[in-house]
């Protein structure tokens, strides 16, 4: 009989599924600069989020502006670097590097939020990292600079997740989501103008759809971090590495090997055990 899944875990699983769709779309549109994709994604999420914030009559600029802004800028940096790495290296490898973020999230949660994972969880959290490393393998197609960019993206993602935790009980989740594109749009514009590529009609529709998928993913991800501690759910991000591996194989013809399969199995086992021990 399957263990009961908490609402926070349900939200992070749904978010992971939609983030996987987004990852595949970014890879598919590799001919469009990553920063431009971030821009289109942010326009859609800004419009949808602003509508919800206005509908709920939430005050945008309030006493928690600093935390909201820091969440937004960390997310903008993480997203821009992440989309770029997706386009220039194999999908599964890029996603795996980013999902070192759960390690950063749990470690940074100690000084930022004062949350400590249970001692018995640590081996399984680290086991998820080992599984992700096996999935990456010794991929010679990944340069050190691209790996480092992915690592920085993971660190800023970990910071962003913890700022969400700090906003628990202080800001509505739709307001937290709004600040992501609110900060990201002015961040993108000066970087995007020199490399702009005009999308055709089908590409434009695809980019708008990507933004809608992002909104769905962001809502569920934000709810997950508001409902659960970082230690209890951040390791679920490893499952997105598994999604990316399968997407890369079936849609982009990327190679799969024994180490990758072993890594996937280890990730699933690590996530399952860590979840049981978090209760």
Q: How far is CA 185 from the centre of its chain?
A: 18
Give one word for 137, left, alpha or beta, with left for phi > 0 and alpha for psi -120 to 50.
Answer: left
CA-nearest of 273, 85, 83, 52 to 175 is: 52
Cα separation, 237 vs 247, whole angstroms: 16
Residues near 134 by Cβ (< 8 Å), separated by ≥ 6?
259, 260, 262, 263, 266
DSSP state of 99: T
pLDDT score recorded for residue 80 = 94
User: DSSP 3-state helix, strand, coil percentages of the chain (rounded to 5)?
Assistant: 80, 0, 20
**pLDDT 10s per residue in the chain (279 long)?**
445 677 888 888 888 888 888 888 998 999 999 999 999 999 998 998 899 999 999 988 888 999 999 999 999 999 999 999 999 888 877 877 776 776 777 778 888 888 777 788 788 878 877 876 776 655 666 777 888 898 899 899 989 989 988 988 888 888 998 999 999 999 999 999 999 999 999 999 999 999 899 889 888 888 887 888 766 776 676 677 677 777 777 777 776 667 767 776 787 677 667 766 765
CB 42 within 8 A of CB 181: yes
Report the predicted TM-score, pTM, of the whole model to 2 decimal places: 0.79
pLDDT score recorded for residue 256 = 66
Q: Taking the domains of the chain in order of start, what are their residue ranges?
A: 7-277
Residues near 221 by Cβ (< 8 Å), separated by ≥ 6?
11, 12, 15, 19
pLDDT score recorded for residue 219 = 84
Angle, helices 91-98 vs 144-166, to 10°: value is 50
């Amino acid at each position: 009989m399957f263990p009961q899944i908490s609402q926070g875990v349900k939200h992070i699983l749904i978010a992971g599924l939609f983030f996987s769709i987004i990852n595949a779309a970014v890879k598919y549109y590799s001919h469009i600069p990553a920063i431009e994709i971030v821009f289109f994604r942010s326009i859609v999420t800004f419009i949808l989020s602003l509508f919800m914030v206005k509908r709920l009559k939430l005050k945008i600029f309030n006493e928690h502006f600093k935390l909201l802004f820091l969440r937004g800028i960390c997310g903008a940096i993480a997203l821009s670097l992440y989309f770029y790495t997706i386009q220039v290296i194999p999908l599964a490898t890029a996603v795996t590097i980013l999902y070192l973020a759960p390690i950063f999230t749990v470690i940074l949660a100690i000084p930022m939020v004062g949350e400590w994972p249970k001692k018995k969880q640590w081996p399984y959290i680290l086991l998820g990292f080992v599984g992700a490393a096996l999935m990456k393998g010794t991929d010679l197609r990944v340069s050190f600079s691209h790996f480092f960019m992915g690592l920085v993206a993971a660190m800023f993602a970990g910071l962003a997740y913890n700022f969400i935790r700090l906003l628990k009980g202080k800001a509505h989740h739709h307001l937290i989501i709004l600040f992501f594109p609110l900060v990201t749009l002015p961040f993108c514009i000066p970087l995007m103008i020199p490399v702009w590529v005009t999308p055709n009609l089908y590409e434009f529709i695809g980019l708008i759809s990507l933004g809608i998928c992002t909104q769905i993913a962001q809502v569920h991800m934000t709810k997950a971090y508001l409902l659960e501690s970082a230690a209890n759910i951040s390791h679920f991000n490893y499952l997105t590495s598994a999604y990316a591996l399968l997407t890369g194989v079936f849609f982009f013809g990327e190679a799969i090997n024994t180490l990758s399969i072993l890594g996937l199995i280890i990730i699933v086992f690590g996530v399952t055990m860590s979840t049981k021990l978090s209760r």
